[in-house]
Amino acid sequence: MSCDLILALDVPTREQAAPILRQLRGNLRWVKIGLQMFTAYGPDYVKAIADDGFNIFLDLKLHDIPNTVAKAIESLAPLPIGMLTLHTGGGREMMVAAKQAQQATKPDLQLLGVTVLTSLDMIGLREVGVTDTPDIQVARLAHLAIDSGLSGLVCSPLEVKALRTNLQVPHSVKLITPGIRPANDPTSDDQKRVMSPAEAAEAGASFIVVGRPILKAKDPAAAARAILAELKV
């Protein structure tokens, strides 16, 4: 199974993003726009990046009552986005309403369910009332998301193999994994459950999401090419 690279465009301003994107054009296909950039610059910025030739993964992690999430998806339908996230913790009714809105307004859009954030470990889960381990909680939410009709999941790379083998999540369901650090990257940050690109691909990830190792590199294009090469090993 092939695995592709998504750049997490987690920078403060579009001016800071512009030279990075110029260097990366032609080196990778997908760019993830999260809350920071979408809140700052809105739909027009999504269109501008798509016009530069990138596929857009809009990472808004929608989580609200079913009708509100469905209406939000209808509002986003005119945008040139290929992937959109929502929190599986919103429950079955919310995810089904989201799927119905997506099918009615943007059939090619992939709805991705966020299971357990990579910033959460066992201690963090207990603090919000979840007594199970992260892998058990991921499995529970993954089942619910797939049963609700979502086409993909966002999870830690450490859960990918279990989802593909133990839970038999088919390859038609995309697994998108943040928490990726190249094998030689010393970065230490707020993500606790991490893995190298090659390890994530071998486990069965469909896409890996990488931010700081590319954004902070002296040569972002070279960093992206190195990660893509690692995925092909």
Active-site residue, from 32, 47, 61, 71: 61
In the three-class reduction of DSSP (H, G, I as helix; E, B as strand; rest coil), residue 233 is classed as: coil
Mean per-residue pLDDT of the chain? 91
Annotated active-site residue 232? The verdict is no
Q: Which of 5-14, 184-193, 198-207 has the lowest mean pLDDT?
A: 184-193
pTM of this structure: 0.91
Handedness of CA 195, 13, 87, 134 (dihedral sign): positive
DSSP label at residue 25? B
Q: Give the pairing of strands 4-8 and 152-154.
A: unpaired
- Rounded to whole angstroms, what are the CA distances from 1 to 64, 208, 232? 34, 13, 10
Q: Which of 14-18, 191-195, 219-223 has the lowest mean pLDDT?
A: 191-195
Q: Decide if pLDDT at 8 tops 70.
A: yes
Query: How many alpha carbons lie under 13 Å from residue 210 in its C-beta half-sphere?
Result: 33
Where in 116-163 does DSSP place strands (E)? 152-154
Residue 156: the pLDDT is 83
Q: Decide if pLDDT at 192 tops 90.
A: no
Residue 53: the pLDDT is 95
Contacts for 185 with CB less than 8 Å, ≥ 6 apart: 213
Per-residue model confidence as pLDDT tens digits over 65-108: 999 999 999 999 999 999 999 999 999 999 999 999 999 999 99
Please tell me the distance from the alpha carbon of residue 37 to that of residue 34, in angstroms, as a whole number: 6
Domains of the chain: 4-231 (3.20.20.70)
- Range 50-65 average pLDDT: 97
pLDDT category of residue 187 using cuts at 50, 70 and 90: low
- For residue 60 the two structure tokens come to 């808004």
